[in-house]
Amino acid sequence: LSEGPITRLLAIYQSDMPEAVGPVRSAREYFIDLALGFDSILVHHGWSPGAKDRLLNGDADHINGMDHDGTLFWRADFREAPHNSYTSYKNV
């Protein structure tokens, strides 16, 4: 569970390489802890205030779609923003 009455998902890819990954949403502090447990790169599009502090402090390797919108990330036309940010395994 997350803050508020919603569920947040975190996908972990080990061997399958999907063509499209998403929709990519904002990072949360507990996502950082999960990513560290798998020695992985946290891929996100934006962040909560707590996650921003930790990621800018270097707590985990990460790629922020806010810095790469239109290059490593694209916007799908079949969904409305902010639920339409996608990337690929290859881009990550």
pLDDT confidence bin for 7, thresholds 50/70/90? confident
Task: Tell me the average pLDDT across 76-83.
Answer: 94
With 60 as the cut, is the pLDDT of residue 1 above it?
Answer: no
Q: What is the tens place of the pLDDT at every residue in 42-75?
A: 999 999 999 999 999 999 999 999 999 999 999 9
Instruction: Find tokens 């921003």 and name the residue.
Output: 52
Nearest to residue 47, comparing CAs of 1, 85, 5, 92?
A: 85
Helix (H) or strand (E) holding 52: helix 49-56
* C-alpha distances out from residue 18 to 13, 50, 52, Å: 9, 29, 27
Sign for the pseudo-dihedral over CA of 33, 45, 60, 12: positive
Count CA atoms within 13 Å of residue 44 on its CB side.
23
Predicted pLDDT at 2: 60
